Chains A and B, each alone.
Chain A
Amino acid sequence: MKVWLFHLAVLVALAVLALILPAYHANNLARILMLAVFATGYNLAFGYTGMLSLGHALFFAAGMYGAALPVSLWGLGALPGLALGLLAGGAVAAAVGLLALRTAGVSFMIVTLMFAQAGYLTVIYFNQTTGGDQGIVLSGAGRMLAGLDMTQDGPRLMVALGLYAAGLLAALALVQSRFGRVMLAMRENEERSRMLGYDPFRVKLAVLAISGLYAGVAGAGYALLFGYAGAGFAGVQYSILPMLYSLMGGAGTVLGPLIGAGAMFYLIDIASGLTTAYLMGVGIALVVLVLFAPRGILGWVRERVLPWLP
């Protein structure tokens, strides 16, 4: 109960922030929330189940194009577009998982990376439809989500908050459930879980598909909320970013990805105003984090202050 109240309080705090933040930061919050949805899903696979995937850019892009193409090509509404994006992310993740989960560890990382690269090149190859690296711009009419205009800052932030809240609560329910404990068992000792009668392949496939659903809805949301879809979002950095968000915020914590996404966003935002070598600043911050708080920001908090945090 304490856990649920705590997370609800966080959501209330986010809602209050949404109301009081100045325009620039409020819009940043919408972006951070969508990235946090992506990273929350990534963290289910990585932080809770121990699957180090470098293929999540593919799932994110599947969601992004799964929503953007029907909306821009056939005039589909944004809400069905969002649903299609969600399903596209989950379906692609399940398909990749069926093949990639025959491997583990470093091999799994490489196989998922290869799938993602193939996905990126596919987006480029079908450039006359996808817009290739230049991408496609979604019209204002295609961005009316259930009567809410995504070209307006207020409704956009509301939708971003709604999507994040849904993602957070679902993740919390999942990791608190019996299945969540099986996920942890896979991370801690796969062979022992197998001996106890669990099928690691099925468990990991299910988690990867769920993680894909998160990536899909985040990609779809990003396209619909901000009006652009491009091959850049299918590039390898979009597999690495959710991992960094998770590591920074705390892998294996439900709120960690949000904290990581926010911290990373503002680290880049502030550092890029000071120096063109801002990525070095990001790198130094990560090294410092690994050295002094290897479990991430929230992992550190959990170890010292809030041991009950999921």
Chain B
Amino acid sequence: MITTKKTGLAPSRRSVLMGAGAGLLAGAGLIRPVWAQAAPLKLGFQLHATGIGAGYGRWYQRTADAAVKLINEGGGIAGRPVELVYEDDGTDPKRGAEVVDKLVSQHGCDLVLGTLFSHVVMGSAPRAGELKVPYLVCSEGYHVASGALNRWTLQPGITDVRSQISSMAPWVAGNIGKKVTMVYPDYAFGYDHRDFFTAAIQAQGGEVLAQIAIPPTETSFTRYFPQIPPETEVIYHVMVGPGVLTFVKELGEFYGTGAKPQLFGFIDSLEAVDTATPGLEFLEGSHFWEAHPRVKPADAGEHEAAYRAAVGVDDNGASTGDAADVATYSHMFSTWETLFFIKQAIEAAGYTGPADRQKLVEAMEAISDLPYGIERPQGAKTFNGKTHQAFGVQNISKIEGGKLVKVHTTTIEEGLYPDAVDYTTMAF
């Protein structure tokens, strides 16, 4: 190789510019943390930035960014800075699988996390398994613990829907009624509720009088209400999507000012929706499941304030910058907790790069106790390494004056159920 060296009294314009550039870079280097010399850990985030999950995606991104900021301020993970790489999956299972591919093969991410919608998880998990890359979902679906997926897919940051539903039944039966009519959307999310709540309320000596499945294409619900048996004590409703406002309004018109059953719903219906929205007055006095109470409870844990400040949510559960921008508070903590779970597992495994991915999953499977702390602002959890699923406490809130007020917290034990799978016996 031939090299040439220019000599002269005056430096050339090019060498001055190069010298200045090098100086700037060196200067920038001086003020960066020491670990900046270590290669960053790239975590791929499969984001619902568009499509039906976009409302959730926005808050998932804010929460994950806040968690990574805190992690990096604390020295990163195993001394390495963390970098999140977002790719939009359009809340679509086909695109989801492509995004897993892109994050791993194109961006070189160490692992993938963050997926919420069940169908995207189902569509993407096979690809994660083929690529042999840890895939940590924040979906609350029962798909992980049911055994439908693979050794590489885990859900360490949020309790699954089967557990959530099961833990609600004792309180519902003991406090608002045992004769239940269920109204649910006619797709997978609704079926989980139909199957698991029916079994759980029967175990409490209650019964489901009617199961009313509403097709996803429906825009008006009035014609379904006469199917609600008159002896119903509790209407259990889990409608989601844009139809929920119409649903509540029409239910209110159906019962008018006369006697009505108690209402019990899952906050999924009203995530990112202000409970004081005109048209939702009929929900006053009704109860909702919440994973993480949107309105800060009087007895909130010691880390609640710091978490809210970090993710930019006020005490009412809305963005600190815009009171009309309501958070998806009962789900978004899962990205935060998943990132801290990743930190714990990577540091325990001594993970250094993609060659250690198997070791990383084994380290994750070995984790069981996840105590309350800033790492887990929603509450303490236990992680079942065999089923790849975390279990935590759940809350029940009542709408009073248009606000959700927490009235009950379950124990972790109330949400436990027998293992359906042992992923640790499966091949990688």
Q: CB within 8 Å of B: which residues of A?
A: 22-24, 27-28, 31, 117, 121, 124-125, 127-128, 131-138, 140, 151-153, 226-228, 230-233, 268-269, 272-273, 276, 278-279
Query: CA separation between A152 and B126, bound complex, in Å?
Result: 11
Contacts of B102 in A (CB 8 A): 24, 269
B148 at the interface (CB under 8 A from A): yes
> Contact string, B111-130, partner A, CB cutoff 8 A, digits 1/0?
00000001100110111011
Query: Shortest beta-carbon distance, A138 to chain B, in Å?
Result: 7
Distance (whole angstroms) from the CB of A245 to the closest CB of chain B: 14
Q: Is B106 an interface residue (CB 8 A)?
A: yes
Please determine whether A152 and B50 come into contact, CB atoms closer than 8 angstroms.
Answer: no
Q: Is the CB of B98 within 8 A of A230?
A: no
Say whether B187 contacts A133, CB under 8 Å: yes
Contact A232 B94 (CB under 8 A): yes
- The 5 listed contacts between A and B (C-beta, < 8 Å) are A135-B93, A137-B149, A227-B130, A269-B98, A279-B50
Q: In whole angstroms, how far apart are the Cα atoms of A232 and B98 in the complex?
A: 15
Q: Which of B94, B149, B191 has the most CB of A within 10 A?
A: B94
* In the complex, chain B residues whose CB is within 8 Å of the CB of A128: 191
**Chain A nearest CB: distance from B53 CB in Å?**
12
Max chain B CB contacts within 10 Å: which of A22, A136, A269, A272?
Answer: A272
Task: Specify the chain B residue showing the minimal Cβ separation from A222.
Answer: B94
A232 interface neighbour in B93, B129, B191, Cβ under 8 Å: B93
Question: Which residue from B49, B97, B143 sits with its C-beta under 8 Å from A226?
Answer: B97
Let me know if A127 and B187 touch, CB within 8 A.
yes
- A230–B96 Cα distance when bound, in Å, is 13
**Closest residue of B by beta carbon distance from A35:** B94
Stretch at the interface among B21-29, B84-92, B239-247, B410-418: B84-92
B104 to chain A, nearest CB (A): 8
Which residues of chain B from 174 to 227 have a CB within 8 Å of any chain A CB? 186-188, 191, 215-217
When the two chains form their complex, are residues A276 and B88 in contact, meaning their CB atoms are under 8 A apart?
yes
Whole-angstrom distance between the Cβ of B420 and the nearest chain A Cβ = 15
Is the CB of B277 closer than 8 A to any CB of chain A?
no
B98 near A228: Cβ-Cβ < 8 Å: no
A234 to B: closest C-beta gap in Å: 12
**A135→B191 CA distance, assembly (Å):** 13
The answer on a CB contact under 8 Å between A226 and B87 is no
Task: Kindly state whether residue B110 has any CB partner on chain A within 8 Å.
Answer: no
B141 within 8 A of A: yes
* B93, A272: Cβ atoms closer than 8 Å: no
B427, chain A: closest CB distance, angstroms: 9
Q: A133-B119, A273-B87 are in contact. Are A27 and B126 (CB under 8 A)?
A: no
Residues in A with CB closer than 8 Å to B129 are 140, 151
Picked from A121, A134, A138, the residue with its CB within 8 Å of the CB of B126 is: A138
* Closest A-B pairs by Cβ, 4 of them: A227-B126, A134-B188, A24-B105, A133-B187
* In the assembled complex, B290 has its CB within 8 A of some CB on chain A: no
| Contact A228–B90 (Cβ < 8 Å) | no
A133 to B130, CA, bound (A): 23
B186: which A residues are within 8 A, CB to CB?
124-125, 127
Cβ < 8 Å to A, chain B residues 128-143 = 129-130, 141, 143
Q: Is B304 close to A, CB under 8 A?
A: no
A232 to B, closest residue via Cβ: B93
In angstroms, how far is the closest chain A Cβ from the Cβ of B372? 32
Q: Contact between A132 and B188 (Cβ–Cβ < 8 Å)? A: yes
With a CB–CB cut-off of 8 A, which chain B residues contact A153?
130
Contact of B191 among A28, A132, A276 (CB under 8 A): A132
Is B314 in the interface zone, CB < 8 Å from A?
no
Whether the pair B187, A22 counts as a contact (CB closer than 8 A) is: no
Rounded to whole angstroms, the CA-CA distance of A31 and B102 in the bound complex is: 13
Given known contacts A22-B105, A152-B130, A134 and B143 CB-to-CB distance under 8 angstroms: yes
Is B274 among interface residues, defined by CB-CB distance under 8 A? no
Q: Name the B residues within 8 Å of A276 (CB-CB).
A: 49-50, 54, 88
Give complex CA distance A27, B95 in Å: 13
